Amino acid sequence: MSLAAASAMALTAGVIAAPAAYTADDSVEVIVDGDNVRSDNKNGLTYKGLGVLSCNSTSNLLMDYKAEHPERYWQLIRVLFGGKSPLINHVKIEMGTDTNTSTGSDPATMRTPDELADASRSPGFQLAADAKTVNPNLKVSILRWEMPEWVQKEWDKGTGSDDMYQWYKETILDAYEKYGYMVDYVDPDKNETRDPDESFIKWYKNAILTDTDFANPRYNIPAGKQDKVRKAYQKIKIVASDENNTHNIGPALLSDKQLFDTVDAVGYHYNTDDRREGDPGGDTYLPYTKLATGENKYDEDKEVWYSEGTASFGYTEYRVNNTEGPNGTSTGIGGVQSALDLANRLVKSYANSKRTHYIFQPAIGSFYEGAQYSHKELVSARDPWSGYFHYDAAVYVMQHFTQFAKTGWENDTNTAGIWRTVPEASYSGVSGTENVDGSNGAPSYMTLADPRKKDFSTVVVNDSDRFKTYRIKAENMRLGDPTMEIWETRGADAGQAYGANLKHLVDEIQPDSNGYYTYTVKPRSIVTLTTLDKSHDKAMKQRLPESGNRTVLDTDATGKKRDTSDNVLYADDFGYEEEGDVQVGTGNGARKVSQPYLKSRGNQPRYMVDQTGAWEVGKDARGNNVLYQYTDQSMNDTHAWNRNTPNTTVGDFRWENYKATVDVSFPDRDGGLATLGVRQQKGMAAGDAAYNVRIAPNGTWTFYEYGTEVKKGNVAPADSYRLAIEAKGARITTFIDGKSVYTYEDPTPQMEGRVKLGTDFYKTAFDNLKVEKVDGYTPYAGAQLDNMDSSVGYEGTWNRKSSFGDAMDWYRSTSTSTEAGASFTVPFTGTGIDVIGGNDGSAVLDVYVDGKLVAKNAKTSSTDKRLATYMLRGLPDGRHTAKFVLASGKIVLDAFNTFSGHVEGAVDTTPIRNSLDKVGTPSQADYTADSWALFDSAFSAATAASARQKGLDTIGVDQIANRLDVAYDRLVRADVTGADAP
């Protein structure tokens, strides 16, 4: 039985029956019947497309991109939100509370009930304002996860409804006053609740409808505009209930007419399926399908959203090099958690639960890597100083849905022409409910149609290794030109460039004598079969912007201008006189206005990603700008998901040898604690910096390695201190007010990472942050290669994993081997290379550089993720090829950091000269060829380096000397028989 015929057998209460049993080799028959195009269904079956969730610091660095590289930022706005067929047409904002509820913290718009709301603190409100400059019809919604402490205290007593309403209302009106748009939707309930608060949802909607107070001076609404604002405000719609995996709000709406009338849109997270409990006619059996189709007891359709879901994991250009397909082949752009998995989520969530809107958490990853849930976005924007953006191929995959239909929200008169989804011509048999797997070869397709029945598009996802034939027939449609275009996205064929097959027109076909369009879909691909004429549309041929160079943060003393020639890596005095005005969208997208730097961003500091706390620039007692952490004992919210003391992160993950300095002071008379940390790679607590010092006003200081106390001491009590930590190689020195108080020699050092600032729950001030290079040491890694980068070569047996990868692995991918003789080869430019990955230290490596053996049976270190398990330094500055052969043990590869020859100050080569003196001038004839080859390589390198080779630093000196010592100790005399002997 064909799929369409099987589906047509049962249409009861909106339930589309699953097709009869099929085999993966069956052709798939799809009937697009115009009688099934429900043009009168304005809410549930209108295809709204895609949205983005801004929350939990995921958008923080975007405001820096706008200030530093406005041309690149506004290009992003056009790519994601602009054009005739916008990719994204909804910005959902999760209201911040200065607490960490995921990857970080977003600022609270109101920290006390008396404070005036400031929506400009939250990058989500400004992102929406800027997006409206290219799409005024963009929708904006808000919800909360937690709440400010002043609301929480009343809420816990059962008297917080008015306080909650005040927080929402004043934030909404402030965004209206600043940006000119009214929020379209509010979810009054808690994000990811499992028990929807139905009574408060009803109460909140009634409060909106009956609210007539818009003259309060706190709202700053001119008298002549108050009636207009009231009318717009009272049109705000209600969305509920943003559950995670549970399905309670759907049945609740069907069983409660008052709740049904209150809620305009329903949504839930991370699950493609509907609820299937009880009798098919009951409220718990396919409730969301019944709501969307309108085939329910109220004969009214509701919007149903996939109100929070992931994007693809990692970078697609890296994923294509995995070995997760049959017999160790690649899954191409597909596989679990891939771009095709994402496409299947859209299809299956519609086919199974009739959801016509998918919201990414997030679509844009604009926070530092190493925080929770890294690398699951369409666009990566993490280096605002460089202007680097990475647009993933998943964007092209998503365009297969949005560029072949008119998406969005239908208007009140049902004349906007938004395309309808067609349930009878949509189906998905792929496995899974969140991370879906299409490798079973099951059909997966979704049909969208013009409500006038003049055109339609069927999106087909084939995330399997088999070819799949589709036969599509249009009935009761009013098609003009019957030509069907076939647009395809898939991975590159052998010998092709990576992007050769990304969203391109591959064919134009005609129906056969029986009216069927027949097309065979290739493995690991997505195709859109459309009757629209898109072949001459310039937007279809437009490629995504190039990423650009991901340069390291290295500025002059202002912190603004790139300068690699001085001794400063970065500086911030929080005055920002060097910053110019910033363009901000306003007037509901009608125009852009120029605003002073700090005003444009709600006084948020440059380049800082907050993990917990309220970090904001303010005036000190002398009227100077300083950085404050404002969260004090009265705001200490114990309801945070990730409960840490306040801390924020700044800088480049590639920084290595540097000295960080900051002034700290304690304006809160009740207490305080200030933290400075260095070499932070991952985590969301102050103690996640590898080395950090904490000091209190009483002069007690403590030095920590990660969260473990190493040393404690005391200095004189004071209201302020200058803290500094110098990290050079394994030696970490702490300074207080310019005086060294402790030096720590780490036997297993972490070598790279950013700067952390932290406090306790007391208002604390920071000023004059400076990060400086250290004489004699390379300051940073110049570049990073992922283990899945196509330039990295592999021989032997490797498990190259990209599905279900850990967020703490770069791009969620690793390459692992336990086979003796397996090797990996890395081309690079510079003076050294680090092998990064979480390892148990069992791997033993033979290391070759440019064909010469430089290390034999080299040990690796037991390391956590993102740290170096093996470091090779001291090479001549230039192009090299390093080959690593696994002699024994297990090696896990995540990434490779490479180092340039940029070194400040003099370098002492005495260790090399001492090693040369020690070995003397042995004769080659006295030793075996194999042992001499290693010694000769080390001796030649040491001889060249002793003459102060370009790019040599102190770590390189130590490694060259050590390699020579080891090679000399391993010389084997040629006249020794039997067991080898030195």
Kindly write down the DSSP assignment for every residue of 181-199, as one continuous string: ----EEEEEETT-SS--HH
- 3-state SS, residue 280: coil
CA dist 452 to 419, 448, 479, Å?
A: 9, 12, 10
Distance of CA 838 to the CA centre of its chain: 21
Q: Give the burial class of 496: count Cβ atoms within 10 A of its Cβ; 0-12 exposed, 13-18 middle, 19 or more buried.
A: exposed
CA dist 685 to 115, 618, 758, Å?
A: 28, 24, 9
| DSSP labels, 118-135 | -GGGSHHHHHHHHHTTT-
- According to DSSP, the residues that pair with 594 across neighbouring strands are 583
Question: What strand order describes the sheet that includes 878-888?
Answer: 793-795, 823-830, 878-888, 844-849, 852-859
Q: What DSSP designation does 100 have?
A: B
Residue ranges of the chain whose pLDDT lies below 70: 1-24, 637-638, 976-982
- 3-state SS, residue 421: strand
**Where do the DSSP E strands lie in 760-805?**
764-773, 781-786, 793-795, 799-801
Rounded Cα distance between 735 and 748, Å, is 22
Residue 919: what are its φ and ψ, rounded to 5°? Answer: -80, -25
**Where do the DSSP E strands lie in 818-915?**
823-830, 832-836, 839-840, 844-849, 852-859, 862-863, 868-872, 878-888, 891-893, 895-899
Q: What DSSP designation does 568 have?
A: E
**Where do the DSSP E strands lie in 706-778?**
708-714, 720-728, 731-736, 739-745, 754-759, 764-773
> Is-contact 262 238, C-beta < 8 A?
yes
**Sign of the torsion formed by the C-alpha atoms of 682, 688, 692 and 694:** positive
- 3-state SS, residue 583: strand
- According to DSSP, the residues that pair with 411 across neighbouring strands are none
For tokens 């194999």, the residue is: 930
Residue 290: what are its φ and ψ, rounded to 5°? Answer: -65, -40
The pLDDT score that the predictor gives to residue 982 is 53
For tokens 């009054």, the residue is: 188
For tokens 């279809």, the residue is: 540
Residues 6+ apart with CB under 8 A from 930: 972
Name the amino acid, one letter, at 527. V
Rounded Cα distance between 398 and 116, Å, is 40
> Is-contact 814 805, C-beta < 8 A?
yes
- 3-state SS, residue 5: helix
**Sign of the torsion formed by the C-alpha atoms of 178, 183, 189 and 193:** negative
How many CA within 13 A on the CB side of residue 350? 30
The pLDDT score that the predictor gives to residue 24 is 63
Name the amino acid, one letter, at 847. V
**Sign of the torsion formed by the C-alpha atoms of 641, 647, 652 and 657:** negative
Rounded Cα distance between 346 and 349, Å, is 5
For the whole prediction, is pTM greater than 0.85?
yes
Rounded Cα distance between 451 and 589, Å, is 28
- According to DSSP, the residues that pair with 703 across neighbouring strands are 693, 711
Reading the block at residue 340, the tokens are: 């095709």
Residue-wise burial string across 404-428, b where 16 or more C-beta atoms lie within 10 A, e elsewhere: bbbbbbbeeeeeeebbbbbbbbbbb
In 3D space, the residue among 527, 637, 713, 650 whose CA is nearest the CA of residue 111 turns out to be 637
Cβ neighbours, 10 Å, residue 557: 16
Rounded Cα distance between 364 and 387, Å, is 14
The pLDDT score that the predictor gives to residue 641 is 87
SS3 assignment for 148-167: CHHHHHHHHCCCCHHHHHHH
For tokens 């030109």, the residue is: 481
Helices (H) and strands (E) in the chain, counts: 19, 54
Rounded Cα distance between 695 and 757, Å, is 12
The pLDDT score that the predictor gives to residue 975 is 82
Peptide bond into 362 cis (omega under 30): yes
Rounded Cα distance between 416 and 237, Å, is 19
Q: Give the burial class of 453: count Cβ atoms within 10 A of its Cβ; 0-12 exposed, 13-18 middle, 19 or more buried.
A: buried
Rounded Cα distance between 444 and 342, Å, is 12
> Is-contact 419 405, C-beta < 8 A?
yes
Rounded Cα distance between 353 and 350, Å, is 5
Reading the block at residue 748, the tokens are: 């297993």
The pLDDT score that the predictor gives to residue 640 is 85
The pLDDT score that the predictor gives to residue 636 is 86
Rounded Cα distance between 901 and 948, Å, is 12
- According to DSSP, the residues that pair with 185 across neighbouring strands are 141, 237
Q: What DSSP designation does 692 have?
A: E
Give the length of the chain. 982
